[in-house]
Chains A and B, each alone.
Chain A
């Protein structure tokens, strides 16, 4: 099965600068982690901060564009992995190893299997 691992953290811990030591450190950890996944890693990316986010909202068929992320929350979606795993326990075992700077959460979601 394919799973998305969605990484939620308080982006403030990484500061605003792209070369902040905290950001560089976590990127290093993610590169090592991604390498350790081998064939289980199907894809993924880190996301730029929510100050760069723009949201297209549809309400009653009317589409409007808004500045900011979908939800203003204490923790934000900061990146994701797409992985292949035989079952949920294997996916959870990988999710436990996802690097986090401090507090945070990794949401594990199976991908919809679309018949080809």
Chain B
């Protein structure tokens, strides 16, 4: 959408493309290349909007643009799609855009997340987030930020924002184990975007690490749903169902990253995923000790509430629920009030501490935040078993 050089058109076109995807993919049949499909639909919506602007005065509105056919997709240049997205990502992550707005803007324009979804991903009130987006778009338009992929010299200063953006976008895609939400396409997109980034920047350890991280996490998707459509906790997933092709690709990337630089935050997160993916079967003990050590290291590089929450989960397995509960008590409860995993972790710890009434309340708090269906089923089952 970068080619239209108009962020409002890009925003509306991306939102419309995702809305159409949600409607036409509802029956579970994904097009062969969801990213290409989305790009094509968004492009047509944008062209349509531009056309309407020009001819509004003299012509009746045109019929809605047709859904792209297989032939249309076959005509697409393979490299065009990721490059267009990356270009837009780099515009949104320009150093002239406020740091705190970059990832949010990318998620809105490139991935089509709603402001409510982005606000919840960043643990922020929605009006605050909405205002940041408005300011950032105004800055880009007024200051004349170019719609170009910058030269290699400019990459390092923009890269961290790009990587954070992809991280948050992937977290959103990963949240839904069933892959049934309108945003299910992100997972495939982010595999593609991280591959392109890793090709463009083969010497950046954090780029390779992020590409590894999303591959490890995505490798486990086939094991994340049980027969009832409820999500399966990581330690109970059958490693036989994990995708070996993605795990092998991730290992290759992580080894290359380790040879380039000391472990950064994304390398450590990938290493945590790697620890899990090294498990050959459910008969082997879960790697909680190693995971806890890696979270300790991650915490020294990136001290945020989400890392602390994940570390507490590992701590509960290594040192018991009391120790984990004490850690949880140190977190800012108000900031995490709308974060579903926070309530789910509290509920599990309270259950294990035999504080059943409070556990029930915590499960209910998680359910009240409308988690994806698979997560909802799992939470309801845990709650019923109290």
> Could you tell me which A residues sit within 8 Å of B by CB distance?
1, 3, 85-92, 108, 110
- A87:B142 contact, CB within 8 angstroms: no
- B150:A110 contact, CB within 8 angstroms: no
- Nearest residue, chain A, Cβ from B143: A88
B165 to chain A, nearest CB (A): 20
B62 to chain A, nearest CB (A): 31
- A25 vs B144: C-alpha distance in the bound complex, in angstroms? 33
- A114 vs B143: C-alpha distance in the bound complex, in angstroms? 15
- Tell yes or no: B146 within 8 A of A by CB: yes
In this complex, the member of A3, A89, A91 whose beta carbon has the largest number of chain B beta carbons within 10 angstroms is A89
What is the interface of chain A mostly: helix, strand, loop, or mixed?
A: mixed
Per-residue interface assignment for chain B, residues 122 to 150, with 1 indicating a CB less than 8 Å from any chain A CB and 0 otherwise: 00000000000000000000111110101
- A86 vs B148: C-alpha distance in the bound complex, in angstroms? 12
> Could you tell me which B residues sit within 8 Å of A by CB distance?
94, 96, 142-146, 148, 150, 154
B45 to chain A, nearest CB (A): 26
- A110:B146 contact, CB within 8 angstroms: no
Sample (24) of A-B pairs whose CB atoms are under 8 Å apart: A1-B144, A3-B144, A85-B144, A86-B146, A87-B144, A87-B145, A87-B146, A87-B148, A88-B94, A88-B96, A88-B143, A88-B144, A88-B145, A88-B146, A89-B145, A89-B146, A89-B148, A89-B154, A90-B146, A92-B96, A108-B143, A110-B142, A110-B143, A110-B144
- A86 vs B96: C-alpha distance in the bound complex, in angstroms? 16
Residues of A within 8 A of B96 (CB): 88, 92
- A92 vs B145: C-alpha distance in the bound complex, in angstroms? 10
Residues of B within 8 A of A1 (CB): 144
A1 to chain B, nearest CB (A): 5
- Nearest residue, chain B, Cβ from A1: B144
A106 to chain B, nearest CB (A): 13
Residues of A within 8 A of B142 (CB): 110
Selected contact of A91 from candidates B94, B144, B148, B154, CB within 8 Å = B144
- B150:A89 contact, CB within 8 angstroms: yes
- A3 vs B145: C-alpha distance in the bound complex, in angstroms? 12
B65 to chain A, nearest CB (A): 30
Known: A1-B144, A87-B146. 9 other contacts (CB 8 A): A3-B144, A87-B145, A87-B148, A89-B146, A89-B150, A90-B146, A92-B96, A110-B143, A110-B144
- A108 vs B142: C-alpha distance in the bound complex, in angstroms? 12
- Nearest residue, chain B, Cβ from A92: B96
Residues of B within 8 A of A86 (CB): 146
In this complex, the member of A86, A92, A108 whose beta carbon has the largest number of chain B beta carbons within 10 angstroms is A92
Residues of A within 8 A of B146 (CB): 86-90
A21 to chain B, nearest CB (A): 34
A69 to chain B, nearest CB (A): 26
Residues of B within 8 A of A92 (CB): 96
Residues of A within 8 A of B148 (CB): 87, 89
- Nearest residue, chain B, Cβ from A90: B146
Residues of B within 8 A of A110 (CB): 142-144
In this complex, the member of B142, B143, B144, B146 whose beta carbon has the largest number of chain A beta carbons within 10 angstroms is B144
- A106 vs B94: C-alpha distance in the bound complex, in angstroms? 18
Residues of A within 8 A of B143 (CB): 88, 108, 110
- Nearest residue, chain A, Cβ from B96: A88
- A91 vs B145: C-alpha distance in the bound complex, in angstroms? 10
- A89 vs B150: C-alpha distance in the bound complex, in angstroms? 9
Residues of B within 8 A of A91 (CB): 144
Of all A-B residue pairs in the complex, the 10 with the closest CB atoms, nearest first, are A87-B146, A88-B144, A1-B144, A87-B144, A88-B143, A88-B145, A89-B146, A110-B143, A110-B144, A88-B96
- A88 vs B94: C-alpha distance in the bound complex, in angstroms? 10
A109 to chain B, nearest CB (A): 8
- A1 vs B143: C-alpha distance in the bound complex, in angstroms? 9
Residues of B within 8 A of A108 (CB): 143
